[in-house]
Chain A
Amino acid sequence: GDSVTQMEGPVTLSEEAFLTINCTYTATGYPSLFWYVQYPGEGLQLLLKATKADDKGSNKGFEATYRKETTSFHLEKGSVQVSDSAVYFCALRINFNKFYFGSGTKLNVKP
């Protein structure tokens, strides 16, 4: 069935370190891929998305590339800030309709 697997956390980094959060998916249809972020005490927000293979989504210094050959959508940022501390969710959408979310990865950035 359709599903998303992302790396377990928490991930703890120092400020200005490089971030990678791995995400792989299984999909029967033609998925779109998303990263959502949940800051402490807030609701889920869309961070970035990619709708077809080889697309790169980017926002706020974060990037992720839709890799069909490896069924992956890894999230990266070159230099994290304390304000990036949050829980990050990878998600896929099948045929413009149903969403599946990963279990979330908590990121802690230390000054």
Chain B
Amino acid sequence: EAGVAQSPRYKIIEKRQSVAFWCNPISGHATLYWYQQILGQGPKLLIQFQNNGVVDDSQLPKDRFSAERLKGVDSTLKIQPAKLEDSAVYLCASRGTGGYNEQFFGPGTRLTVL
């Protein structure tokens, strides 16, 4: 079974530029999560999708971050414009249906904002 795929793996941009990350979850997984992991901290949930609907985006900085999950499969996370404090690893995770199913994480995209 293929895991969660993310691209790119690394991205370096200058502040005020835009950037987009892509995630392909495990086939059949209805729930998709985007997390931000700042160096030395644990992952922080940014947004959660159930199929193509948003379940929770309470911690997403909506003035600069946006995310979509068209057709309930792939998802993109965009930052526009980026700030220095957005430097982090952006993790995508997916989970199947059923209350006790675990979430599986992708390898992450490491973003450096200069």
Contacts and interface: CB of A to CB of B under 8 A. Distances in A.
A44 B105 contact: yes
Contacts of A103: 40-42
Given A97-B55, A97-B56, A44 B100 contact: no
Interface in A72-93: 89, 91
A60 interface: no
Contacts of B21: none
A99 B56 CA distance: 11
Size bracket of the A interface: 20 to 34
Contacts of B61: none
Nearest to B106: A43
With most chain A CB atoms within 10 A of its CB, the pick from B40, B41, B43, B91 is B43
B22 to A, nearest CB: 16
Contacts of B106: 43
A44 B45 contact: no
Given A32-B100, A44-B91, A51-B100, A101 B108 contact: no
A46 interface: yes
B43 A44 contact: yes
Nearest to B3: A43
A91 B35 CA distance: 13
